[in-house]
Amino acid sequence: MIAELKRRVADAGGIPWLWDALGLSRRGTAARCPDPSHDDAHPSAQLHDDGWICHGCGARGDALGLMAHTHGAATVREQIAALCEVLGCDRDELASAWRPSISQQRQ
């Protein structure tokens, strides 16, 4: 399921797209750190297609990590729910499509 979510983020435009969808400001690949404990007066984070890193405080992450920092999503379940909300996908539908059927598991 996580790989499918990351694929959907990549198809939408990667971490820069997600950053914009969350309403976070950036200039190209430079951005302010999303970690609430880091008072980032100057953009010290760098965005990559599949992740981000703050060179000021060392915070880093992928799409799920970004949900942890911006939504306070402490668990992977909460991060998945927050990311599904941004992507407009149904978490239960995604989970059922991800789980192989019992007959496929037995093969």
Tokens read off for 73 = 């999503």
pLDDT at 102: 45
- The reported pTM is 0.83
Tokens read off for 10 = 């990549």
Per the CB < 8 A criterion, the answer to whether 63 and 24 are in contact is no
Per the CB < 8 A criterion, the answer to whether 1 and 98 are in contact is yes
**For strand 52-54 and strand 45-47, is the pairing parallel, antiparallel, or unpaired?**
antiparallel
Which residue numbers in the chain have pLDDT < 70?
A: 96-107
| Structure-token match 């996580």, residue found | 2
pLDDT at 95: 72
Rounded CA-CA distance 90/62 in Å is 20
Tokens read off for 80 = 């998945």
